[in-house]
Structure 1
Amino acid sequence: MRVKSVLVMLCSVLALQIANAAEPAASITHKATLDLKTASRLVQTAQDYASQHGWPCAVAVVDDGGWPILTARMGSAPVVAGIELAQGKARTSALFKRPSDDLEKGINGGRTAAITAGLLMMKGGQPIRVEGQVVGAIGVSADTPAHDDEIALAALQSLQVLQSHQ
């Protein structure tokens, strides 16, 4: 009788294990991603906007982990280091899922420990959202912080228009 009880219990445990093993596959959700084609459109739109206003710049688009997808610098961009600045702004924005200058505001408010994290807390980094999820970020380095942000936001606006027509 006791052996039978142990066998029933073992079978029950085994059945639970099998049921739980199948469960994770059902909980996988869709994650929107940023592809090279979309990154190219964003960079081109940013460069076109910057060109129309006479603000040569560097533009970087990164994925949600802050890894570069595409980086470009207009030949007449004023700062050769602009590529690194654009990438840093984009990376910071992607990792924190907010505009890069939000962190600058925090530092100015006394949260100085963030300075040591290797992030770039300057205007010009904006998160890219698709279906409500941050899928990456765009970073821009032109002649002024205000222009950096304006160019990034203009590129994002073009993405929103594109998404509404799909």
Structure 2
Amino acid sequence: MTTSRAVTVRTVTAEFAQELIDAATSKAVEIGVPMVISIVDHDGTLKAFRRMDGAPLLSVEIAQNKAYTAAAFGISTDAWHEFIKEDEPLRLGIVHTDRLVTFGGGYPITVDGDLVGGLGVSGGHYSHDMQVAGGALEAVGLSTG
């Protein structure tokens, strides 16, 4: 009996990561909110990044952590809030997990059913962050859910 000792993993390409950065930037310009945009690969390593002029410094880390959260769990950061809000022990405990973000603006990047990375946007209210991230995914033919 032969068992596999390795798996093939698909990940976001540098070219596609840049396409997502550009799409998010266009959406941020459209709504008039400067953003920080991060793309991570399937294992959460930073692949592409942009801090638009005027985007808050604090948003640099938040955007990267949103992308990481989305890639690490395969769900959007706003879905985390829905998942934990009624579970008091989980709600109080999980927030101490490094790099976990539980408010909107981070989405998994899924191509042909495979989780290939994460997109994180920060710079405005989380509703603006979600609008920009969702707009970027839509612009490249992907969805937020």
TM-score (norm 2): 0.87
State the 4+ residue runs in structure 1 displaced beyond 3 angstroms: 28-31
Structure 2 partner of 1:88: 65
Q: Which residue of 1 aligns with 2:139?
A: 158
Deviations 1:76-116 (A, max 9, x none): 11x21111010011100111101011112233222222112
Q: Which of these two proteins has the greater Rg computed from alpha carbons?
A: 1
Superposition pairs for residues 88-127 of structure 1, below 5 Å? 88-109=65-86, 110=88, 111-112=90-91, 113-118=93-98, 119-127=100-108
Q: Within 1, Cα distance between the matches of 2:21 and 2:31?
A: 16
After TM superposition, give the deviation of residue 30 of structure 1 in Å: 5.2
Hey, what's the Cα distance between the residues in 1 that align with 2:104 and 2:43? 19
**Greater share of residues in helix:** 1
Higher deviation after alignment, 106-115 or 47-56: 106-115
Aligned-CA RMSD value: 1.8
- 1:55 aligned to which of 26, 30, 33: 33
Q: Which has the higher contact order (CA 8 A, sep 6+)?
A: 2
Paired letter, 2:26: D
Return 5+ residue gaps in structure 2 as ranges.
none
Q: Which runs of 5+ in 1 are unaligned?
A: 1-19, 162-166
- Tell me the percent identity: 29
The equivalent of 1:9 in structure 2 is none
**Residues 48-77 of structure 1: CA distance to partner in whole angstroms, max 9, x if unpaired?**
110011011000000111111011100111
Q: TM-score, normalised by structure 1?
A: 0.76
Amino acid at match of 1:128: I
**Aligned pair count?**
138
